[in-house]
Amino acid sequence: MSETENSTTTNFIRQIVEQDLKAGKNDGHVHTRFPPEPNGYLHIGHAKSIVLNFGIAKDYKGQCNLRFDDTNPHKENIEFVDSIQQDVRWLGYDWQDRLFYASNYFQQLHDFAVELIQAGKAYVCDLDGEQMRAYRGTLKEPGQESPYRSRSVEENLDLFERMKAGEFADGERVLRAKIDMGSPNMNLRDPTLYRIRHGVIHHQTGEAWCIYPMYDYTHPVSDALEGITHSLCTLEFEDHRPLYDWVLDNISIPCHPQQIEFSRLNLEYTVLSKRKLTQLVDEGFVEGWDDPRMPTVAGMRRRGYSAASIREFCLRIGITKSDGLVEMGMLENCIREDLDAHAPRRMAVMHPLKVVIENYPQGQSESLTAPNHPKDEAMGKRQIDFCREIYIDQADFREQANKKYKRLVTGGEVRLRNAYVIKCEEVMKNNQGEIVELRCSYDPETLGKNPQGRKVRGVVHWVSAQHGVKGGVRLYDRLFNQANADKVEEGGRFTDNLNPDSLRTLTDCYFEPALAEAGEGEQYQFEREGYFILDSREAAREELVFNRIITLRDSWVKIDKAGG
Ligand code: ATP
Ligand code: MG
């Protein structure tokens, strides 16, 4: 874990855990779990939950389980089961031998349901979906009791076993808890515990079951079976807590975890709903779940964000009970701080402009030494080749400009980073009047120093035309145009808010030779251009392609201000 991570960061949940430990509750032990449903890849919101659950376990010498909440076999699959494990591990956490599936508990869940039936606390109901809704009432009006509510225990036991045996069609019958149709809490109006699902092949249990337990029933039982002490979930489950407690109070299970809710992460300029992310993937708006523009852990990894910086972000945003939209700048600052400290510097020219240094001998070249990091000598040095023909960026030259322009102008001087001062003597243009080449001179006395009294406008980066390696870059921008990416006009779709320029590809870039050896996962700062990482796509293997992780500064602040 990085040094910036402050494990003493506290929040109201950690305070509850500390008090419980002090009071000797749960035998002075803390046990949490992270319970994803395997119906998509993990995103940064899940990371918040992972850092919270695994972080508490780690800091209070407890344990954290990874449990797949796999009771909804229609939308779940093994690709997601695998990717979730990979992502939790990559984030730096270890569930050791405690990988569980809610489906592991299907038999126990069934047996506890039988207990509820025997105690007269659950019944088989034949109302169809529409009738159920009508009987359920509204927030203002109490519900009505189902005509099947008074079935005898024997009849319920018989019907439930026949549901399990596959005698009935999907939707024909459900098992419901018998709680209170007049409760102001809708979740307590005889919620469904089991429904029938034929014809699905569950990724863990195959075709063994055709009845599937509902989330609100499965979750407390799974928590209790695993000996969870603190069951942390997001705020939308606050109203479900009485049901969570009801289930555990009415079955013969000694353990009763405490459910505690915290607010979900919402992040500007992106969406964190798996349904919407699935739509972006399925409808081809992005290249896949690991597209570097996606807020998924896999996307961020491919984008070049480090696990440490994502953990740091999750700690900085904190854990509260109030919903809000977190600024993208919060995440980007964590990414930049981490990269600034750890990324070696390199030079790359995105929009090349040829510069011929006329007083540098033809056929000659020299190897110059440049530090890998301006503030960290331990990161060492590298060799860069200098010769008569080099490239600078088109944006670093103007024929004329006022004093504020700190780059090269006709007749002016500029320092080449890690090399000499050059002066622009002549501008070469093509028939269309476009600048195609600069003729310059260099001053051999200026390597690594400015001779006295010499004023140079600025420093620009460059790459040797002879030694540089050609390749491409993929420049990523925000996925959505508006901070509140979900917000749509009437009749619109959230995909209308997608930023059409979220990916720009440049193909004729030049990289300094050291970059030809860039390894997978190595992050670099391309001087003055941003932070980059080798693209890990299969298709990018043939040529040198770098992904831009992030710009050097937040250029959006300016745009937002100017654009209003
Ligand atoms: P979605 O609504 O996108 O499908 P979910 O909550 O259903 O998300 P799960 O796979 O059930 O997704 O989530 C696993 C865990 O991660 C849950 O405990 C959930 O509360 C937590 N989680 C999911 N999204 C967020 C988020 N945006 N912020 C914080 N925690 C989250
Ligand atoms: Mg869910």
Distance of alpha carbon 372 from the chain centroid? 29
Nearest residue (CA) to ligand 1, atom 4: 274
Q: Which residues lie with the beta carbon below 6 Å from any ligand 1 atom?
A: 35-37, 45-46, 48-49, 69, 233-234, 264-265, 272-274
Ligand 1 atom closest to the Cα of residue 37 is 10
Q: What is the pLDDT of residue 352?
A: 98
Residue 203, helix vs strand vs coil: coil
Tokens at residue 251, please?
Answer: 């079955």
C-alpha closest to that of 530 among 505, 547, 551: 551
Stretch (H or E) spanning 355 = strand 352-357
Which residue of the set 14, 18, 37, 98 is catalytic?
37
CATH class of the structural domain 347-467: mainly beta
What topology does CATH give the domain 274-342+471-561?
Ribosomal Protein L25; Chain P (2.40.240)
Which residue of the set 14, 149, 264, 354 is catalytic?
264
Whether residue 404 lies in the annotated active site: no
The DSSP letter of residue 377 is G
Ligand 1 atom closest to the Cα of residue 39 is 10
User: Which DSSP string corresponds to 33-101?
Assistant: EE---SSS--BHHHHHHHHHHHHHHHHTT-EEEEEE----TTT--HHHHHHHHHHHHHTT---TT-EEE
Nearest residue (CA) to ligand 1, atom 16: 46
Please give the distance, rounded to the nearest whole angstrom, from the Cα atom of residue 37 to the centre of ligand 2: 6
**Which ranges in the chain are annotated with CATH 3.40.50.620?**
3-267
Please give the distance, rounded to the nearest whole angstrom, from the Cα atom of residue 297 to the centre of ligand 1: 13
Contact 96, 129 (CB under 8 A): no
Contact 66, 94 (CB under 8 A): no
Whether residue 264 lies in the annotated active site: yes
One digit per residue, the tens of pLDDT, for the chain of length 564 reads 443 445 557 999 999 999 999 999 999 999 999 999 999 999 999 999 999 999 999 999 999 999 999 998 877 789 999 999 999 999 999 999 999 999 999 999 999 999 999 999 999 999 999 999 999 999 999 999 999 999 999 999 999 999 999 999 999 999 999 999 999 999 999 999 999 999 989 999 999 999 999 999 999 999 999 999 999 999 999 999 999 999 999 999 999 999 999 999 999 999 999 999 999 999 999 999 999 999 999 999 999 999 999 999 999 999 999 988 999 999 999 999 999 999 999 999 999 999 999 999 999 999 999 999 999 999 999 999 999 999 999 999 999 998 899 999 999 999 999 999 999 999 999 999 999 999 999 999 999 877 777 778 899 999 999 999 999 999 999 999 999 999 998 999 999 999 999 999 999 999 999 999 999 899 999 999 999 999 988 767 788 999 999 999 865 444 444 433
Ligand 1 atom closest to the Cα of residue 53 is 18
To test the pocket of ligand 1, the residue of 49, 216, 244, 262 to mutate (highest count of ligand atoms within 8 Å of its CB) is 49
E-assigned strand segments in 374-433:
381-387, 389-393, 397-398, 408-409, 413-416, 421-429
Q: What is the pLDDT of residue 37?
A: 95
Please give the distance, rounded to the nearest whole angstrom, from the Cα atom of residue 296 to the centre of ligand 2: 16
For residue 84, which ligand has an atom nearest its CA? 1
For residue 48, which ligand has an atom nearest its CA? 1
Q: What is the pLDDT of residue 556?
A: 47
Q: Which CATH number fits domain 3-267: 3.55.10.10, 3.40.50.620, 3.40.50.300, 3.40.50.970?
A: 3.40.50.620
Work out whether strand 408-409 and strand 413-416 pair parallel, antiparallel, or are unpaired.
unpaired
Whether residue 437 lies in the annotated active site: no
E-assigned strand segments in 82-151:
99-101, 122-125
- Relative orientation angle of helices 106-118 and 215-225, to the nearest 10 degrees: 110
Nearest residue (CA) to ligand 1, atom 13: 36
**Which ranges in the chain are annotated with CATH 2.40.240.10?**
274-342+471-561, 347-467
Residue whose pair of structure tokens reads 């990085």 in the numeric block: 2
Nearest residue (CA) to ligand 1, atom 22: 46
Ligand 1 atom closest to the Cα of residue 50 is 16
Contact 343, 357 (CB under 8 A): no
Q: What is the pLDDT of residue 564?
A: 31
Cross-strand partners of 31: 63
Cα–Cα distance between 190 and 119 in angstroms, integer?
15
Contact 531, 550 (CB under 8 A): yes
Please give the distance, rounded to the nearest whole angstrom, from the Cα atom of residue 40 to the centre of ligand 2: 10
Longest dimension (CA), the chain: 102
Please give the distance, rounded to the nearest whole angstrom, from the Cα atom of residue 260 to the centre of ligand 1: 14
Cα–Cα distance between 446 and 443 in angstroms, integer?
6
Strand order in the sheet with 459-460: 459-460, 413-416, 421-429, 435-443, 352-357, 389-393, 463-464
Please give the distance, rounded to the nearest whole angstrom, from the Cα atom of residue 46 to the centre of ligand 1: 6
Q: Which residues of 191-228 are buried (b: 16+ CB within 10 A; e: fewer)?
A: bbbbbbbeebebbbbeeebbbbbbebbbbbbbbbbbbb
pTM of the full structure: 0.93
